[in-house]
Chains A and B, each alone.
Chain A
Amino acid sequence: MSMTPDRDRLDDLLDQSSPRTTVVTHAVADELTRLRVEAETTATRTVRISRWKRPTLVGLLSVMLLGGAATATATVSGAWSPWAQTPDGAHTYTLPSGAVCEARIGAVNGNNKEAREAVENFYQNLDFGSLLTDDNLDDMIAQLRTEDSTQWNDDGTTEPSGYGTKHYSADHEYEWAVSRILGNALDAELIRVGVDSNASNLSYLGETHCPGADW
């Protein structure tokens, strides 16, 4: 593979140590094309995607659309991701800035049907208001402020984030507290019904639109 002038046995060993990769079939090529097109659309409509490091059962992607044209597009043309058209759970809440968020949760994946159904049932039947009380949110925000957070920059570098840093945003902190409370409640429910989340490789997706938020 490499073109070093004096190849020897080591070169062969190194060349041959490459892990297996996917054959680029027509289906894979089609997906690469779709990904390329959708990434452009998403990247140009998303003013900011905030990612926080956290130990959690599941992955949650929050796409936050900020103000103006981007928000109008989301509202008028229904720019929710395809899976979010039929979510398992949806709720609204008001950020410290006064902006109202709508969050949708769904696309539950995992290799165990009962585990998937446990997650879906949890969100389909959840009384969001009983969990997202002012007291619960205050407690969670206090806890978040004791934890380290990291911001990923576009160039791949990282910086401390969260309360007391230049990246602090009360809206972002509140949104994160909502997400953590719901995640913790789900963890507790899965333990209660005897689902081993690690063995089931469970994941779900979330999408949050918060027009006018101050990130």
Chain B
Amino acid sequence: MKRHTSDGADRLSAELALNSPDLLRYLQRRLDTDDAADALAEFMMVAWRRVDALPTDSEPARMWMFGIARNIVANAARSERRRWSLAERFRAVLEVAPTEGRPADEGIEVRDAIARLSPDQAELVRLVHWEGFSIADAGEILGLTASTTRTRYQRARADLKAALSLHVDRF
């Protein structure tokens, strides 16, 4: 049985406590409710198995966790999602919990336009505008260099303006 160092385990526990609500929201914005619950359970399992790779500082640790969540979402798009017994009760709680945000049908056109971008561009836009990451941090989560991130983000904006029939003033 693998044992983690108590320092790493304590730090991961603290980071998960701090970031779990944001990670849940991240997953819910990309998956349906049941899948988000299972994806969060899977995320936590992966995070605990990789605890030895947890960055020491808090902000890099947060980005490391979003990087793991990003991989889980990407895999979910490619395969049937498994149901985790670990998430069984969580799914039931989420089913009846109140939701917040704009009406579900608002912004569909914009979400569709984002979804038509390349996967990396789309995720870049979502991380910046839905999760509130800076463009640089969003690029780092996706493993992109700073210059590539800037280029892709600007291209994504230009494509979105065209798709949404907005005036292209600065491009």
Q: Do B98 and A39 touch across chains, with their CB atoms under 8 A apart?
A: no
- B interface bracket (residues with beta carbon within 8 Å of A): 35 or more
A-side residues, CB < 8 A to B, are 1-4, 6, 8-11, 13-25, 27-29, 31-36, 38-40, 42-45, 47, 49, 51, 53-56, 59-61, 63, 68-70, 73, 81, 83-84, 107, 150, 152, 154-158, 203, 205, 207
Q: Of residues A9, A17, A36, A81, which shows the largest number of chain B Cβ atoms within 10 Å of its Cβ?
A: A17
User: In the bound complex, how far is the Cα of B101 from the Cα of A44, in angstroms?
Assistant: 37
Check: B135 CB closer than 8 A to any chain A CB.
Answer: yes
Instruction: Count contacts between A and B, CB distance < 8 Å.
Output: 193
Interface of B: prevailing SS: helix
Check: B119 CB closer than 8 A to any chain A CB.
Answer: no
Q: Of residues A8, A32, A56, A84, which shows the largest number of chain B Cβ atoms within 10 Å of its Cβ?
A: A32
Which chain B residues numbered 64 to 90 have a C-beta less than 8 Å away from chain A? 68, 70-72, 74-75, 78-90
Q: Do A17 and B80 touch across chains, with their CB atoms under 8 A apart?
A: no
Q: Using Cβ atoms and an 8 Å threshold, which residues of chain A touch B28?
A: 19-22
Give 9 CB contacts A-B under 8 Å.
A10-B166, A17-B107, A23-B97, A35-B40, A35-B87, A56-B80, A61-B84, A107-B85, A156-B70
Q: Do B110 and A207 touch across chains, with their CB atoms under 8 A apart?
A: no
Contact of B169 among A8, A54, A81 (CB under 8 A): A8
Q: Using Cβ atoms and an 8 Å threshold, which residues of chain A touch B75?
A: 152, 156, 158
Which chain A residue shows the least CB distance to B106?
Answer: A16
Q: Do B166 and A9 touch across chains, with their CB atoms under 8 A apart?
A: yes
Contact of B48 among A13, A28, A40 (CB under 8 A): A40
